[in-house]
Structure 1
C-alpha cells in the first residue's frame, strides 16, 4: 500500500479533516521539535517524522492507517509520518469505532469462572504455574486481544495529541523502532481482559496482566515521550473484587523499557493512579542488556503511584528533577520509588519527594539484587537528605554503594528541587496546546 493511499485513508477516517480545518502553527511547531535533553539527544538525536506532511486521526482505524496500513506489520514501517490525534481513541474498537469487551477476544474454550475454580491454589496447589486446556484457552484469548489492541509503531514517527486527545484500552508498541516522538496525549486503562494467575509468584501468588500503555523494547532506540499523562483511568485495580486474597490485577506498566531498548527520554509527563509504573530491564538473566537501557527521566510528576519509579536493571538511568507525591493508603499505597536492580546504575539528581505522614523516607530506595545507586541534591519534604544513607541505615543486611559509576554524556541543568512542587504540577502532562 502506498504512503499516499495511507495518508488518504487516515485523513478520511479523521475528524476534522486536515484540508478543512488546518492545524495551527503552534501544533505544527510541536510536531517538528526534536528531543531537547537526555539520552534521546545522542547518536543523531530524535526527530520523529520531522517535516512529513501531517494527518489528523480520530479513531483506531485512522491511527493504524496513518502508521502504515496494517497493524501486524506496521512495526516495520519506517516511512516518516507526523500524526495528530483528535478526541478519544479506544484501541479495543471495532471497524465501526465501537469499544469492545472481553467477548470480542475470548477463545471459545475460555471461561473466567471456570479458570478461577480450576486454579484455586487450595485445590490446584502452589507448586506450579497454571497449565492445561483452560490456561491454553486463556493464552489464545490474550493473543487475540494483543493482536487488536496493541498498536505497532514503526520508525520515524511523530504522534502529537490535539487538546483532549486520549488513547485508551491498549498499548502503543515500539518494538525495534527508532526515532519516535510521542507528545501531548493522555493514555489510560490498558485493561487486560485475561490476566494470568500464578501461585508461584511471591509467597502468596499474584495475578499478572499483560499490557503497558507504552512498551519500548527489542533494541528500540531514540525515543522521546513528552508532556503525556498515564493512568488506570476510571478502572483502578480495586474496581473488581480480589481473587484468592490477591488483587485481581488487570493493568501492567505505564511505560516499560526492556530487551535492549536505549536512548530514551521521558520528560514532563504525569504518571498517576497506578501500581507498576516503569521497569527498565525485564530480567536479571538478560546480561546482553549491559551497555543498553540508557534512559533519562526528567521533569515528570509521579502522583499516587505505588512502585517502579523506576526499577532499574543494567541500565544507566538518569532520574533528574522529578516530583514524587505518593499516598500512604489506598490501592496505590506507596511501596518504593527507586529500585536498585541487578547491575543497575541509577543516578538520581535534584528530585523532590513530598511524603505524607506514614511513609518512611528510607523506603524511597529498594534493593533488588543491585549493588549501587547515587543521589545528588534531592529533597524530602523540603529538607536535604542522603537517600542512600537512609536506606542503608534501615537495611544493614544488604547495603548499597553510594555511586552510579558514570556521568551523563550530554549537557543538562540541574533544577532547583525546592521549586518542583510548584512548577511541575502546572507544567507536566498534556499541557502543550490550549483549548482555543
Structure 2
C-alpha cells in the first residue's frame, strides 16, 4: 500500500463519527476488494458493501446505527454499507459510551454465589443439568447480555478497520445473511458474565460460555474475513479461580461456522491465547449440513491456541498454508489441531507445525466419529510428516481414511511450508497498512 493511501486513511480516522462522505476512493477500493481465494469466491463471489460511501464509527452506538439502527432487527437490513472502524469500541457500552458489567445485565433474581452453591455437584448431583429458579434467572441474564452485546450484521456489508481498530467485549452475529467482508480489525474478549455449569458435560463437568467473537450461522453465505486478530485479550479464563475444580470458562469460540452456513474464507488472520477456536458444524444430528459448511482457512497463524483448528462436521473444509505454534503447558496447552467429525471432509495442505517438547505429532489430528481426512505436504518442526499416518499409528482401533472425495473447485497457489514460520508472524493479523 502506498504512503499516499496511508495518509488518506489517517485523515479518514479524524473525520466526524458516522460521516456520510466517502473516506477516499482508495479506501472504497480497498474495502470492496473481492475475496482473493477460497470458497468465498465461488457461486458469485463476495463483494461486501461494494462501492457504498464509507461511514466512520467510533462507538457501539455508532456501529449499530451504521448497520441499520435497531440492533435486534439489523440482520434484515441488506442495504450495501462500508463501515470503517476507528479506535477501540467496547461492545458492552451503553449509548452514552459507559462500559457495562454483570450487574447491568443480571436479572434481579440472579446471584452468582447462590448459583454456585445451589448447583455444586457434591450436593446437586452429577447426573442432571441445572434447573430451577436460579438457572432460569441465569438464562434471563444471559439473554439480556446477548440482546446488547451480540451485534447483528446484515447482508452486503464491509467492516474494515483503520490502524488500531478493535472490537472488544461482544460478538458479531452473521445469521441468515450473505455477502459480508470483515478486514483489518482486532477482536477480543467476548466475555460471558453468566456461564452455565453442566455436571453432565464430560466426565468431570464443565462451565460453558455462550459467546464467540464472530458467529456465522443459519444459512449465512459468502463471508470473507481477512487480516484480523482474535484472542481472549487481557482477561484469560485462568485469570479467575476455578470452580468445582474446573476452569470457570467465560469465553467460547473465536469464529464458529454452523447451521448451514457456507462459502466462507478466512485468510491472513492471527488466532492466539484461546481454548476453542473454530467449530465448523454444530451437531452430529444436523445431517442437513451435508453439502454446506464449505470453508477455506489459508495463511493464518494459530498461536498458543488449544483445540478446534478447526473441528469439522459434514463440511468440505480446506486448510492450507497455515502456521501452528501451540504450547505444551499453561491454560491453552495443546490438545489437537485438525478434528475429523461426523461425515467431515477436511483437506489439509502445506501447513507448518512448530511443536515444543512435550507435544506428540500424533496429537495434531483427532477423530470425533470422522472417517476420513487428507493431508498433503505438511511439515512438523521443519520435516515432512504424514499427519494421518501418525494419527493412525497411535489410534489403530479407529483409523482414518487418508483421502477425501473432493478437490477444491477454485484456483489457489500453495506456499512453501518451510517459509511460513519466518513469514506469517509478520503478515497475519491487522497488518494491511504498509508500503507496497
Give the alignment's TM-score, normalised by structure 2: 0.95
Q: Structure 2: how far apart are the matches of 1:348 and 1:402?
A: 11
Shift of 1:98: 1.2
Contact 1:26 1:433 in 2 (8 A): no
CA-CA distance at 1:22 after TM superposition: 6.8
Aligned counterpart, 1:409: 409
Paired residues of 2:93 and 2:99 also in contact (CA < 8 A): yes
Q: C-alpha distance in 2, partners of 1:206/1:355? A: 28
Q: Any unmatched runs of 5+ in structure 1?
A: 1-12
Change in CA separation of 1:25 and 1:15 when aligned onto 2, cut-off 3 Å: closer
Distance 1:312 1:415 in 2: 23
2:279 is aligned with 1:279: yes
CA contact (8 A) 2:81 2:157 kept: yes
Q: In the alignment, what sits opposite 2:300?
A: 300
The correspondence of residues 205-220 of structure 1 with structure 2, limited to 5 A, is 205-220=205-220
Distance 2:20 2:80 in 1: 23
Residues 46, 20 of structure 1: alpha-carbon distance in 2 compared, 3 angstrom cutoff: closer
Deviation of the 1:16 alpha carbon: 3.7
- 1:43-192 alignment runs, 5 A limit: 43-192=43-192
Q: 1:319 to 1:331 in 2, by over 3 A?
A: same
**In the alignment, is the contact (CA less than 8 A) between 2:20 and 2:54 conserved in 1?**
no
Residue in structure 2 matched with residue 397 of structure 1 by the alignment: 397
User: Aligned equivalents of 1:306 and 1:248: distance in 2?
Assistant: 16
Q: CA deviation at 1:30?
A: 1.6
2: distance between equivalents of 1:231 and 1:397? 36
Structure 1 outlier segments of 4+, above 4 Å: 17-22
Match of 1:359 in 2: 359
Distance across 2 between alignment mates of 1:19 and 1:81: 13
SS at match of 2:72: coil
* Alpha carbons 2:87, 2:164 under 8 Å: kept: yes
> Is 1:333 matched up with 2:333?
yes
Aligned-partner SS, 1:401: coil
Q: Is the 8 A contact 1:216 1:261 kept in 2?
A: yes
Offset, 1:246: 0.2
Q: Deviations over 1:261-311 (max 9, x none)?
A: 000000000000000000000000000000000000000000000000000
In the superposition, the TM-score normalised over structure 1's length comes to 0.95
Structure 2 Cα separation of the partners of residues 401 and 382 of structure 1: 25
* Alpha-carbon offset, residue 29 of structure 1: 2.6
Answering whether residue 258 of structure 2 is matched by residue 264 of structure 1, we say: no
Which string of whole-angstrom CA distances, capped at 9 and with x for unpartnered residues, describes residues 309-355 of structure 1?
A: 00000000000100000000000000000000000100000000000
- Asked if structure 2 preserves the Cα contact closer than 8 Å seen for 1:14 and 1:58, the reply is no
Q: Unpaired runs of 5+ in structure 2? A: 1-12
Question: Does the 8 Å contact 1:163/1:434 carry over to 2?
Answer: no
> 2: CA distance between counterparts of 1:33 and 1:303?
27
* Alpha-carbon offset, residue 19 of structure 1: 5.8
Where 1:72 maps in the other structure, the secondary structure is helix
Deviation per CA, 1:22-74, whole angstroms, max 9, x where unpaired? Answer: 73555333212011100000111000000001100000000000001100000
Deviates more, 1:190-199 or 1:419-428: 419-428
Judged with a 3 Å threshold, the aligned counterparts in structure 2 of structure 1 residues 208 and 19 are, in CA distance, closer, same or farther, namely: closer
What root-mean-square deviation, in Å, do the aligned CA atoms of Structure 1 and Structure 2 show? 1.5
Decide whether the 8 Å contact of 1:258 with 1:279 is kept in 2: yes
Other-structure match for 1:235: 235
Contact 1:252 1:276 in 2 (8 A): yes
Kindly tell me the number of residue pairs found equivalent between the two proteins. 423
The separation in 1 between residues aligned to 2:381 and 2:430, in whole angstroms, is 26
Q: Which residue number in structure 2 is paired with residue 9 of structure 1?
A: none
